[in-house]
Amino acid sequence: MKLLVIGNGGREHAIVWKLHRDDPSAQLFCAPGNAGTAAIATNVPIAAKDVDGLLAWAKENRPDFTVVGPEVPLCLGVVDAFQEAGLAAFGPVRAAARLEGSKAFAKEVMRAAQVPTADDVVVRTEAEARAAIARLGVPVVLKADGLAAGKGVSVCMDEAQVEAALKDMFVDAKFGDSAREVLVEQYLEGEEASVLAFVDGATVVPLASSQDHKRLLDGDEGPNTGGMGAYSPAPAVTPDMMAVVKAQVLQPVVDEMARRGTPYHGVLYAGLMLTKDGPKVLEFNCRFGDPETEAILPRLSSPLLPALRACMDGTLADCPVEWDPRPSVCVVMVSGGYPESYPKGLPISGLEEAAKQENVVVFHAGTASRIGAVVTDGGRVLGVTALGGDIREAVDNAYRGVIKIKFDGAGYRSDIAHRALERLA
Ligand code: AMP
Ligand code: GLY
């Protein structure tokens, strides 16, 4: 069995790790991968967004199945290109990946499917934006329509923040083409949760619930990041809530995409605000979450590959998806200076010692190998994940791993899973 995973983050290391664990004899490739994937797979030096390069490699090497991690290649149509070449690949085709690639498109689908979400107005000019803000009131949220590596959303709590966001989007054109259209959106209050689901065009099978921590600092302070940690399950997503999310959000969107002739296959990720009026969608992603995947996959007790194949073949209803009841916690270690600028190439020590801790697995994100050493190579460097008998134990196990690992300027939050712990108390 020859398998290719596209991407180089913690999510992709977790996918490679799970595929290897399910079938140690599988021949694994990761493009471009990191120092963690290199230990169990062959890294292929082709960037995740280089669809032509990936296709050329796959045509020559004929992987039995390819798993696409990040949204950029999905939105560029990597699955369409592979399928045209007779290569099986996991993820939505380009037309379905638009649920993430265009926030305005996602809103239109949600309206057609009567899925609860914040009110919004799509605008193209600063004047139109000001009119919409006057109508919706402050606080308000401004979102670039297209992909912006998680940075295109401004939650504006006051007029000064509104002005700064308008300047970013319309004067400094910080998001380029991605902000040709901008969503002005009603501000929602509540607890956030992510629900990810396997989808095979028609059937929806939610994954174990999870919650990530987007802010850099303890207590949800500081700037937004790509994610500082995650845990699973998220107690806010009770079984009842999960049923509501499936019935009111996931299934209607999947049905609407099928009705349009662009059925959705892959993982559908709903970012939700659990408001007092019920769950409302903040965004859709067309892929596994990062770092949610690092928390979720260690809990998946059934094998991953059959589920991924079933999503593409339309046979998900017949595929078992089973979970380890033990909770998991992933603490992300970042470079000093992240999410702004940060150094690269700093040596990392203690990785083996951390991984020796019971129930701990260290997923690499921004790492590279340099003559026998592992060095930092990105903003989010590692995701230290642990299982535990309860959430408290999982937290303790994860931090027991974290403290073994050292690199200059290393940062991490010390309160991952605090909401779950508060509920426990
Ligand atoms: P998104 O990329 O759309 O998930 O937005 C990034 C973050 O902005 C979310 O995780 C929320 O914390 C926040 N956010 C997005 N939309 C809203 C909204 N309508 N109301 C309040 N917060 C929001
Ligand atoms: N954890 C947020 C994301 O994957 O988009």
Ligand that lies nearest to the alpha carbon of residue 69, given by its number in the listed order: 2
Is residue 51, in this structure, part of any structural domain at all? yes
> Which of 27, 59, 93 is the last residue in one of the domains?
93
Residue of 292, 293, 334, 363 with the most ligand 2 atoms within 8 Å of its CB, for mutation: 292
For ligand 2, atom 5, the nearest C-alpha belongs to 289
If asked whether residues 62 and 129 sit together in one domain, one would say no
107, 238, 329, 387 from 349: Cα distances, Å = 46, 39, 22, 23
In angstroms, what is the span from residue 276 Cα to ligand 1's centroid?
Answer: 16
HSE (side-chain half, CA atoms, 13 Å) at 339: 15
pLDDT value of position 116: 97
Q: Is the pLDDT of residue 148 over 90?
A: no
Query: Cα separation of 298 and 21, whole Å?
Result: 10
Query: Cα separation of 196 and 293, whole Å?
Result: 9
Nearest ligand 2 atom to the CA of 290 is 4
If asked whether residues 124 and 42 sit together in one domain, one would say no
pLDDT value of position 265: 98
Ligand that lies nearest to the alpha carbon of residue 210, given by its number in the listed order: 2
pLDDT value of position 422: 87
Is residue 80, in this structure, part of any structural domain at all? yes
Q: Is 124 helix (H, G, I), strand (E, B) or coil?
A: coil
Reported as a pLDDT band with limits 50, 70 and 90, residue 358 is confident
Reported as a pLDDT band with limits 50, 70 and 90, residue 394 is very high
If asked whether residues 264 and 305 sit together in one domain, one would say yes
Q: State the amino acid at position 264 in one-letter form.
A: Y
Taking every pair of C-alpha atoms in the chain, what is the biggest distance, in angstroms?
Answer: 60
Residues with CB under 6 A from ligand 2: 150, 212, 227, 285, 289-290, 292
According to DSSP H, which parts of 141-188 are helical?
159-166
CATH number of the CATH domain containing 157 = 3.30.1490.20
If asked whether residues 216 and 282 sit together in one domain, one would say yes
Tokens 């913690």 sit on residue: 10
HSE (side-chain half, CA atoms, 13 Å) at 260: 19
Tokens 């020796």 sit on residue: 356
Contact by Cβ (8 Å): 32, 44:
yes
Q: Crossing angle, helix 159-166 and helix 126-136, to 10 degrees? A: 150
What stretch of H or E contains 381? strand 380-387
Contact by Cβ (8 Å): 37, 55:
no
Contact by Cβ (8 Å): 147, 71:
yes
> Which of 156, 186, 216 is the last residue in one of the domains?
186
Contact by Cβ (8 Å): 366, 348:
no
Say yes or no: CB of residue 191 within 6 Å of ligand 1: no
CATH number of the CATH domain containing 304 = 3.30.470.20
pLDDT value of position 204: 98
| pLDDT tens track for 82-94 | 999 999 999 999 9
If asked whether residues 314 and 363 sit together in one domain, one would say no
Is residue 241, in this structure, part of any structural domain at all? yes
How many whole angstroms from its chain centre is CA 210? 11
* DSSP letter string, 335-361: -TTTTS------B-B-HHHHHHSTTEE
What stretch of H or E contains 204? strand 204-206
Q: Is the pLDDT of residue 243 over 90?
A: yes
Q: Is 38 helix (H, G, I), strand (E, B) or coil?
A: helix
> Which of 318, 336, 352 is the last residue in one of the domains?
318
Q: Is 46 helix (H, G, I), strand (E, B) or coil?
A: coil
CATH number of the CATH domain containing 416 = 3.90.600.10
Give how many domains the chain has, as a whole number.
4
Say yes or no: CB of residue 185 within 6 Å of ligand 1: yes
In angstroms, what is the span from residue 10 Cα to ligand 2's centroid?
Answer: 11
Angle at 287 between CA 282 and CA 288, to 5 degrees: 95
Nearest ligand 2 atom to the CA of 292 is 1
Ligand that lies nearest to the alpha carbon of residue 151, given by its number in the listed order: 1
If asked whether residues 344 and 412 sit together in one domain, one would say yes
Say yes or no: CB of residue 192 within 6 Å of ligand 1: yes
If asked whether residues 84 and 200 sit together in one domain, one would say no
Ligand that lies nearest to the alpha carbon of residue 188, given by its number in the listed order: 1
If asked whether residues 417 and 314 sit together in one domain, one would say no
Using CB atoms within 10 A of its CB, is residue 233 exposed (0-12), middle (13-18) or buried (19+)? buried
Q: Is 103 helix (H, G, I), strand (E, B) or coil?
A: helix
Q: Is 369 helix (H, G, I), strand (E, B) or coil?
A: strand
Token couple for 409: 């300027």
For ligand 2, atom 3, the nearest C-alpha belongs to 289
**How many C-beta neighbours within 10 Å does residue 135 have?**
12
Residue of 216, 290, 296, 332 with the most ligand 2 atoms within 8 Å of its CB, for mutation: 290
If asked whether residues 203 and 302 sit together in one domain, one would say yes
Q: Is the pLDDT of residue 44 over 80?
A: yes
If asked whether residues 176 and 204 sit together in one domain, one would say no
Is residue 358, in this structure, part of any structural domain at all? yes
Residue of 75, 212, 282 with the most ligand 2 atoms within 8 Å of its CB, for mutation: 212
If asked whether residues 153 and 215 sit together in one domain, one would say no
Say yes or no: CB of residue 118 within 6 Å of ligand 1: yes
Ligand that lies nearest to the alpha carbon of residue 269, given by its number in the listed order: 2
If asked whether residues 313 and 195 sit together in one domain, one would say yes
Tokens 């303790």 sit on residue: 396
Reported as a pLDDT band with limits 50, 70 and 90, residue 31 is very high
pLDDT value of position 182: 87
Backbone angles phi, psi at 56, to 5 degrees: -60, -45
DSSP bridge pairs for 285 = 269
Nearest ligand 1 atom to the CA of 280 is 19
In angstroms, what is the span from residue 227 Cα to ligand 2's centroid?
Answer: 7
pLDDT value of position 127: 87
Q: Is 231 helix (H, G, I), strand (E, B) or coil?
A: strand
Is residue 414, in this structure, part of any structural domain at all? yes
How many whole angstroms from its chain centre is CA 19? 18
Reported as a pLDDT band with limits 50, 70 and 90, residue 40 is very high
Is residue 103, in this structure, part of any structural domain at all? no
| pLDDT tens track for 72-128 | 999 999 999 999 999 999 999 999 999 999 999 999 999 999 999 999 998 888 888
In angstroms, what is the span from residue 401 Cα to ligand 2's centroid?
Answer: 23
Q: Is the pLDDT of residue 179 over 80?
A: no
Using CB atoms within 10 A of its CB, is residue 295 exposed (0-12), middle (13-18) or buried (19+)? buried
Is residue 101, in this structure, part of any structural domain at all? no
How long is the chain?
Answer: 425
CATH number of the CATH domain containing 27 = 3.40.50.20
| pLDDT tens track for 219-229 | 999 988 989 99
pLDDT value of position 175: 78
Is residue 72, in this structure, part of any structural domain at all? yes
Q: Is the pLDDT of residue 151 over 80?
A: no
Query: Cα separation of 12 and 293, whole Å?
Result: 9
Query: Cα separation of 84 and 71, whole Å?
Result: 19
The pLDDT mean for the chain works out to 94
Contact by Cβ (8 Å): 169, 193:
no
In angstroms, what is the span from residue 242 Cα to ligand 1's centroid?
Answer: 20
pLDDT value of position 197: 98
Q: Whole domain around residue 53: which residue ranges?
A: 2-93
Residue of 141, 184, 187, 215 with the most ligand 1 atoms within 8 Å of its CB, for mutation: 141
Query: Cα separation of 128 and 73, whole Å?
Result: 32
Kindly calculate the radius of gyration of the chain based on its CA atoms and give it in whole angstroms. Answer: 21
